[in-house]
Amino acid sequence: MIGEFEYLLLTAASRLGNEAYGAAIRQEIENATEKRCSIGALYTTLDRLETKGFLKTWMGESTAQRGGRAKRMVRVTAKGIREATAFYEVMTRVTRGASWGISRQGIL
């Protein structure tokens, strides 16, 4: 099973869709967790997930905003979606019955 940070990354990349690349994914993770996301953790996790076949990366276009440097684009693969779904289901099941498992909407 994937780890917590791997899940965060896969989810952020999936939400961003065609706009998923390093800086955007990092921003998504920081917004969600309200914690700083280090570039080192982000890029080494991207590599690990790509090696496992959970996502695919390629070098995209460069923009003036980035000082003319290229983006590393990311796309979550079907295998990655399955892993993230499995992680989510396990977390949902394991949280059921816990005191913090009752959401405001009472879904859990």
Partner 1 sequence: MNSLLLWLTDLLSRTLDPDERSAVRGDCDESAQTALQTLHDVFGLVVRRQAGLWMNWRPWLALAGVAAPTALLLIAGGSWLANGYALQLWVFRNYADIELNYLRESHSTVLDGLLFLSSRSFLLAGWSWSSGHVIGKVAGRARGVIGILFSVYLVMSGISRSAAPYNYDVNGGFFSSAFYARVLPFVLQVLLILIPALWGMRQASRSDQSPAVRNLLWVASVTTAFAVPALFWWPAPANLHSWEWLLAGCWYMPLVYVLATANWTRWRPQST
Q: What does the alpha-carbon distance between residue 108 and residue 98 come to, in Å, rounded to a whole number?
A: 9
CA separation (Å) from 23 to 3, 13, 38, 48?
A: 21, 11, 11, 18
Q: DSSP character for 53?
A: T
Residue 67 interacts with partner 1 (CB under 8 A): yes or no: yes
The interface region with partner 1, picked from 6-14, 16-24, 85-93, 94-102 by CB under 8 A, is 16-24
Residue 80 interacts with partner 1 (CB under 8 A): yes or no: no
Q: Are 53 and 82 a contacting pair, CB within 8 Å? A: no
Residues that bind partner 1 (rule: CB under 8 A) add up to a total of 20
Cβ proximity to partner 1, 22 vs 80, nearer residue: 22
User: Contact residues for partner 1 (CB under 8 A)?
Assistant: 21-23, 26-27, 38-41, 43-44, 59, 62, 65-67, 69-72
